């Protein structure tokens, strides 16, 4: 069966997501993303609760933000002021906490940051995990709020654009259970399997429900990319026993599938990831064995998560060496330049874009 690829996609002012490839991807495609403070400082946009829940306010703010991006980075082709479809969107809503939110975990919003879970909310106890009811969660006011927004978007603009951030099974479990989840692997393995089974079913059912609503509006989406940012906090053996079965279940439930592992070393987990079906996207940190990744996943769109701190603080020569290494060992691939800080100069971002463009031109010569 042919693997259907995904590429990195960072919604304007939203956490990184993935989208289907379209064949236009270059060998060193840079996917730029900026932290909310960048837009707050330059455009005066406030990312308070209104931004996440009011499609009209979000639409108007995205017009400002896209205009700013097009002016500062004219060589980037995926921001087009004439394209209005990506303004009527659910991308970025609730940040990385859609699943915790629908499970009753309140979010705290700030004018220049992504939302966070309210620190006063107690994590799930064993009894609360045992009593989780997916049908009850799916009929909660929080789910109704998501669909209310989609109704508004379709009524006003037609297509319901966007990609909510579903995270991954362990990420969501960590948000809901806290650090206890890591000792639960050893002390309460049956509970972990019950918890992970419930979380993965919730993720699948809610994502399918949202995506079906989007498809009915004319925006085609049928994929899932699990965010396994916390995978490096567990061993490959723990991944194999406790996480692989649920990643596999998710992969089998969608047309396209990918895995985000954050800016970590993916190498120890490659053998297990290769057993998953439909892997059309895989990202990693630059310390990973990128040559091995390229050999093992020739059909996937591969990507490197590049550090925004290094972008800002390293010398231009150091950044160039990093890009040359990525180009030689992993390309064709994406450079995921997410979370660019408000203090990073436009000059430095444009220099990165030029470095990657020059590498691509060398190949053509």
CA 129/CA 199 separation, integer angstroms? 10
The mean per-residue pLDDT over the stretch 253-262 comes to 97
How confident is the model at residue 364, as a pLDDT?
60
CA 205/CA 275 separation, integer angstroms? 23
What pTM was estimated for this model as a whole? Answer: 0.96
The 10s digit of each residue's pLDDT in 134-170 is 999 999 999 999 999 999 999 999 999 999 999 999 9
The 10s digit of each residue's pLDDT in 323-340 is 999 999 999 999 999 999
Confidence band, pLDDT 50/70/90 cuts, at residue 362? confident
Q: What is the CATH number of domain 6-364?
A: 3.20.20.210
The 10s digit of each residue's pLDDT in 165-197 is 999 999 999 999 999 999 999 999 999 999 999
Domain ranges across the chain: 6-364
pLDDT at 1 over 80: no
Confidence band, pLDDT 50/70/90 cuts, at residue 251? very high
List, in sequence order, every residue forming a beta bridge with 333; answer none if it has no partner.
28, 302
Question: CB within 8 A of 194, min separation 6: which ones?
Answer: 129, 130
The mean per-residue pLDDT over the stretch 4-24 comes to 96
The 10s digit of each residue's pLDDT in 224-245 is 999 999 999 999 999 999 999 9
How confident is the model at residue 2, as a pLDDT?
82
For residues 149-170, b (16+ Cβ closer than 10 Å) or e, as one string? bbeebbeebebbbbbbbbbbbb
The whole-angstrom distance between residue 242's C-alpha and the CA centroid of its chain comes to 22
CA 359/CA 327 separation, integer angstroms? 7
Q: Are 358 and 28 in contact (CB under 8 A)?
A: no
Question: CB within 8 A of 148, min separation 6: which ones?
Answer: none
The 10s digit of each residue's pLDDT in 318-327 is 999 999 999 9
- The percent of residues above 70 in pLDDT, for the chain, comes to 99
The mean per-residue pLDDT over the stretch 90-117 comes to 98
Q: What is the DSSP string of 333-345?
A: EEEEEEEE-TTS-
The mean per-residue pLDDT over the stretch 61-87 comes to 95
| Mean pLDDT, all residues of the chain | 97
């Amino acid at each position: 069966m042919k693997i259907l690829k995904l590429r990195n996609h960072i919604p304007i002012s939203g956490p990184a997501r993935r989208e289907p490839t379209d064949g236009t991807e270059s060998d060193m495609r840079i996917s730029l993303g900026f932290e909310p403070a960048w837009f707050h400082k330059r455009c005066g946009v406030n990312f308070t609760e209104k931004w996440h829940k009011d499609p009209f306010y979000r639409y108007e703010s995205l017009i400002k933000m896209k205009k700013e991006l097009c002016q500062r980075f004219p060589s980037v082709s995926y921001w087009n002021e004439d394209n209005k479809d990506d303004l009527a969107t659910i991308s970025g809503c609730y940040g990385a906490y859609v699943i915790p939110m629908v499970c009753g975990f309140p979010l705290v919003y700030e004018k220049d940051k992504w939302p966070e879970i309210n620190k006063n909310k107690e994590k799930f106890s064993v009894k609360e995990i045992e009593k989780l009811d997916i049908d009850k969660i799916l009929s909660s006011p929080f789910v109704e709020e998501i669909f209310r927004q989609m109704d508004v978007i379709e009524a006003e603009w037609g297509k319901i654009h966007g990609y909510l951030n579903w995270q991954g099974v362990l990420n969501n479990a960590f948000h809901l259970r806290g650090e206890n989840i890591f000792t639960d692997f050893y002390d309460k393995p049956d509970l972990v399997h019950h918890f992970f089974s419930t979380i993965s079913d919730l993720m699948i059912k809610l994502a399918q429900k949202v995506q079906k609503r989007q498809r009915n509006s004319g925006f085609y989406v049928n994929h899932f990319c699990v965010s396994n940012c916390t995978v490096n906090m567990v061993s490959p053996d723990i991944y194999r026993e406790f996480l692989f079965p649920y990643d596999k279940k998710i992969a089998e439930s969608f047309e396209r599938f990918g895995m985000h592992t954050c800016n970590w070393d993916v190498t120890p987990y490659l053998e297990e990831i290769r057993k998953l079906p439909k892997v059309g996207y895989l990202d990693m940190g630059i310390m990973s064995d990128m040559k091995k990744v390229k050999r093992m996943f020739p059909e996937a769109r591969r990507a490197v998560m590049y550090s925004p701190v290094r972008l800002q603080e390293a010398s231009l020569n150091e950044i160039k060496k990093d890009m040359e290494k990525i180009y030689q060992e992993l390309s064709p691939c994406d450079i995921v330049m997410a979370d660019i800080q408000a203090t990073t100069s436009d000059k430095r971002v444009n220099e990165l874009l030029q470095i990657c463009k020059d590498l691509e031109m060398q190949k053509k010569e």
